[in-house]
Chain A
Amino acid sequence: MSAATEAQPGRAGPRLSASIKRAALPWLILAVVYALCVIASADFLTWHTIRLQLIQAAFIGLVAIGETLAILIGHIDLSIPWTITLTGMFATNLYAAHPHEWVAFGAAIGIGVAVGLVNMLGVYVLRVNSLIWTLSINLMLQGITLIYTNAAAPTTVVPPAAKFLALGMVGDIPMAAVLWAVCAIIVIGALRFTPFGRAVYALGSNELVALLSGVRLARTYAAVFITSGVMAALVGLLLSGYSSQAYLGMGDDYLLPPVAAVVIGGSRLAGGEGGYGGSIAGAMTVILLEAMLITLNVSQGEREIVFGAILLALAFLFLGRRRR
């Protein structure tokens, strides 16, 4: 009830405190979920367990960078799963044949950029609904991966750099988390302090106004979808490093969890409002929820049901708050 009154548009004062509240909510949710985890199992208090969850959250968090940008401009990217798998399969195979680090990373970046450009072509140039377009591209990437793996056997040879980024430690802190932190700082800075960030919010708020104001839309669309593609490709490489091999379906868990992370993070699905800060908490929340259900010995099927229901509930919590 009080939330509704505070959400009334007014002078800068109350509005500002409302936006602080909104920024704090994802972290509050994270705290609650973590507390539930601890109740479920005291293991969650050990650094060892936290560290493992942090690595998982980093993978979600890294792809959530692209997803956050896509959602901020009022779109969505659902081509992440098979960008991950294709990159994992292709880059490791290429590395097995040509054992240089730069070959694997070059291939990954190449795939990421290509997927991003194709998505930008469909969503910006051809004006296809991004949900439909990126989901179709995801299917086509799956097809490409299957055709490719018919010709090439998977390999367990993975680039050491990928292994290090996924499993390495800096002191007591996982390398993946460090990488995530660095990327997060860059994205948050880019959204706040650069012309690109302004263009993203402008585009997400009202594309027609952005167009009439001379905002470089093509450039912004390209930057957003290419970032998303490259982050997905990078995570594909990290995941192969994490399990010391690439395998079909390795990206399957990355279709909706990144979207969930962004929504829990408080960004508006219609675009124009939110930011990456909340998505960080969102990514951790998603991973902890999953881990908690596993700890409680919930079977795979039931886990998915509970997980879906919780995500829906969280989405309602946020959407409901904003509808006013």
Chain B
Amino acid sequence: MPDAVLRAEGLTKRYGGITALEDVSLSLAAGEVLALLGANGAGKSTLVKMLSGNVTPDSGSIAIGGAERHLTSPRVAFEAGVATVHQELSLFGSLTVAQNILIGREALGRLGHIKEETSLRRATALLAEIGVPDIAADARLGTLSLAQRQLVEIAKAISFDPRVLILDEPTSALGLTDVHRLLSVVRGLRAKGRAIIFISHRMEEIETIADSVTILRSGRKVGAFPRQSFTRDRALELMLGETQQQLHAVPPPPPAVQTTPPILQVADLRLDGRLNGVSFDLRPGEVLGLAGLEGQGQKDMLFALFGLFRRGLRGDVIIRGQARRASRPLQAIAAGLAFIPDDRKNMGGFMFLPIAHNIAVTILDRLRRFLFLNARRETAIVAELIQRLAIKCASADAPLGSLSGGNQQKVIAAKWLAFERDIYLFCDPTRGVDAGARETIYATIRDLAAAGKGIILYSTDMVEFPILCSRVLVFRGGKIAGSVSGAEVSEESILALSFQDTGAVAA
């Protein structure tokens, strides 16, 4: 293709021993929408970061309009004609739409003051150009809806007059009507000859908007087709690959228990826009997985159960037959819940305090003898847990921060083994954890299940569901899109449910 606006050849990026992207090439013509598809961790964001100048490739080249460019910073990328709308919006709520769009590039008067009138006129023209004249350029951004902010972000990108526009999951947080609107804006931009890279997890959007589809898996390009020959089954197959075979020999998950009464019942749980009516049961001895693509409400579900949302939560949480919906963690703990968070540094442990204090923090009341802390009992409990979880440390008095990530995670789990609860909420417990610690955490989860605890596991690593879970709920848009249990729990079945239709998007 001689008329390619963007041509990338052999892009490769390694972080330490991990290959984030390997030998990926793609080309994009003017007026073309290229959809980028891949599971979590497939390399999409690395590729986007390279094209937007946030990451420099180890090898490979990028040519824009036929000339090779080294995109060493976001600024260079803008100047080369590539504008990116990232997943996390970069707008300021207290500024107006016009101020946000033209920030840092305002027309200045003779005294160095900003000519707000000129800014307003330019912003209004830009909003009209992308087809959203109803957004007022002088409106304060904070008053706009999420969908409108997304469109403002696109207007900001267009203000650079880019030849290539990258939209990184622009629809992930939007409802159906807003998705329609956004897609029609994208179509308008395509008609004006801009080349667009569009990233989405929603197959139906890709089918309606894409001219070509490129699929990534584990950092490699595993497929590319024009829209005519694209099918969902083929795409799923390519995204998944042969990951199945690398599963090591692990004991199968415990069978799903059906006879015992549920320990936890969740009925129609809602949280403004993030959870849209979730209902399920959890039985003692069951390991229930919460799967789905990132940000579909699984994490919110765990946070909601543990009382981290003070208001806005509706629906019922019934624990052992009693209504126990929590609006603060203390209530959740009293109701029998334990929560092992994924963000170790900010939510998990006290990095500068000794390991012993980190573990005993949950049982301060139980260790009280008269006014004092029963030090002998504390030492015994801590020593037992350090041994049981094989926590590698010089002594129980060493600060938590001196341990490796995996051992830190074990300490955080240990504090809820010291204070035994009925229901354990594990939030991505093996993120950034080495293989040894991983096995320990798996074993801990199995032991808890065997002891009759109820376990809910959210993980970003899909491999964990078939290893650990007797049943998996797949989330999409804050709802349960489907569930699989027993032998059906596999990466394919979960991935298929993750990408399934919510309702066709009209072309």
Contacts and interface: CB of A to CB of B under 8 A. Distances in A.
Interface of A: 9-13, 15-16, 193-195, 197-199, 201-202, 205-206, 208-216, 272-273
A198 B371 CA distance: 13
A213 B362 contact: yes
A28 B368 CA distance: 36
B364 interface: yes
Given A202-B350, A205-B353, A9 B399 contact: yes
A212 B368 contact: no
Contacts of A210: 350, 361
B419 A214 contact: yes
B350 A205 contact: yes
Nearest to A214: B333
B361 A213 contact: yes
Interface of A is mostly: helix
Task: In the A-B complex, list the 10 residue pairs whose CB atoms are closest, starting with the nearest.
Answer: A195-B364, A205-B350, A214-B333, A12-B398, A11-B394, A12-B394, A213-B361, A12-B395, A193-B372, A195-B368
Interface stretch (B71-79, B82-90, B164-172, B340-348): B340-348
15 contacts: A11-B402, A12-B394, A12-B402, A15-B402, A193-B372, A193-B375, A194-B373, A195-B365, A195-B368, A205-B351, A206-B350, A206-B351, A209-B349, A209-B350, A214-B330
Contacts of A195: 364-365, 367-368, 373
A208 B373 contact: no
Nearest to A210: B361
B360 interface: yes
Contacts of A199: 364
B402 A202 contact: no
Interface in B247-285: none
B337 to A, nearest CB: 10
Contact of A194 (B333, B372, B399): B372
B221 interface: no
Given A194-B373, A212-B306, 11 more contacts: A11-B398, A193-B375, A198-B360, A201-B350, A206-B351, A209-B346, A210-B350, A212-B329, A214-B330, A214-B361, A273-B352
B401 interface: yes
Given A15-B399, A193-B372, A195-B367, A213 B415 contact: yes
B424 interface: no
A194 B375 CA distance: 9
Contacts of B367: 195
Contacts of B329: 211-212, 214
A211 to B, nearest CB: 5
Contacts of A206: 346, 349-351
B361 A202 contact: yes
Which of A12, A197, A205, A212 has its CB near the most chain B CB atoms (within 10 A)? A212
A272 B350 CA distance: 9
Interface string B315-333: 0000000000000111001
- The range of chain B's interface size is 35 or more
Nearest to A202: B361
Nearest to A205: B350
A212 B341 contact: yes
A198 B350 contact: no
Contacts of B395: 12
A16 B399 CA distance: 10
Contacts of B352: 205, 272-273
Contact of A198 (B339, B351, B361): B361
Which of A13, A195, A205, A216 has its CB near the most chain B CB atoms (within 10 A)? A195
Interface string B432-472: 00000000000000000000000000000000000000000
B163 interface: no
A8 to B, nearest CB: 10
Contact of A9 (B341, B348, B350, B402): B402
Given A195-B365, A272-B353, A208 B402 contact: no
Given A9-B402, A15-B399, A212 B364 contact: no
A16 B367 CA distance: 25
Contacts of A193: 372-373, 375
A24 B389 CA distance: 36
Contacts of B217: none
Interface in B388-431: 394-395, 397-399, 401-402, 415, 419
B201 interface: no
B156 interface: no
A290 B375 CA distance: 42
Given A12-B398, A201-B357, A215-B361, A194 B350 contact: no
A193 B395 CA distance: 19
A191 B416 CA distance: 24
Contacts of B398: 11-12, 15
Contacts of B349: 206, 209
Contacts of A194: 368, 371-373
Contacts of A208: 346-347
A12 B347 CA distance: 24
Nearest to A13: B394
Nearest to A272: B352
B469 to A, nearest CB: 24
A198 B364 contact: yes
B309 to A, nearest CB: 13
Contacts of A272: 350, 352-353
Contacts of A12: 394-395, 397-398, 402
A198 B382 CA distance: 15
Contact of B357 (A15, A202, A214): A202
Contacts of A212: 306, 329, 339, 341, 347
Nearest to B349: A209
Contacts of A205: 350-353
Contacts of B341: 212
A218 to B, nearest CB: 9
Contacts of A197: 373
A11 B362 CA distance: 25
A210 B348 CA distance: 9
B378 to A, nearest CB: 10
B372 A198 contact: no
Contacts of A198: 357, 360-361, 364, 373
Nearest to B365: A195
A13 B394 CA distance: 9
Contacts of B347: 208-209, 212
Contacts of A215: 361, 364
Which of B339, B348, B350, B360 has its CB near the most chain A CB atoms (within 10 A)? B350
A191 to B, nearest CB: 11
Nearest to A268: B352
Nearest to B333: A214
A94 to B, nearest CB: 32
Nearest to B367: A195
Nearest to B334: A214
B87 to A, nearest CB: 24
A273 B357 CA distance: 13
B361 A9 contact: no
A154 B115 CA distance: 63
A85 B373 CA distance: 37
Contact of B348 (A13, A15, A16, A209): A209
A16 B350 CA distance: 17
Nearest to B393: A12
A200 to B, nearest CB: 11
